[in-house]
Amino acid sequence: MVDGLNLLEVILGRSLFQTYAGILLTDRGSEFEAPVAMETAQDGSQRAHVFYCNSMAAGQKGSLENNHIELRYILPKATDLRALGLTCQAALNLALSHINSASVESLGGRCPLEVTHFLFPALYNRLSHFGLHLIPNDEVMLKPELLKAFR
């Protein structure tokens, strides 16, 4: 988890990271057992604050669990992720692009990347530069076959 946060900080830069990821709300899963490391930047300064949901209260994380469900459409649990095609950052970026290009009812039928582009253009530009892109609605695929080109 710490490596992922370090990468996100590199992608966004310190200022955007602190603006959009400066508060981390998570459960008490084993991957989140190092709050000080997650809160601390590679230069030793504080970059974020970690807060934990109450036990057995997944609803406190809002709609975040929906993204986890969508990710499982492409990467089913208990499968070999490499065999599915998750072999590189480009494959992960493709999966995340499709997930975040799917229309969401709570966003008025828009997708997360559209809303990000409209409301937070600097954030969208950083994500786009890293390799996340808006997929046309009729091309969004949330199935394991999405990554077959990477197998």
What pTM did the predictor assign?
0.86
Q: How far is CA 44 from the centre of its chain?
A: 24
pLDDT in tens, 101-142: 999 999 999 999 999 999 999 999 999 999 999 999 999 999
In the chain, the DSSP E strands lie at 23-26, 49-52
- pLDDT one-digit tens code per residue, 36-50: 999 999 999 999 999
Please indicate whether residue 53 or residue 92 has the higher confidence score (pLDDT): 92
Residue type, 126: R
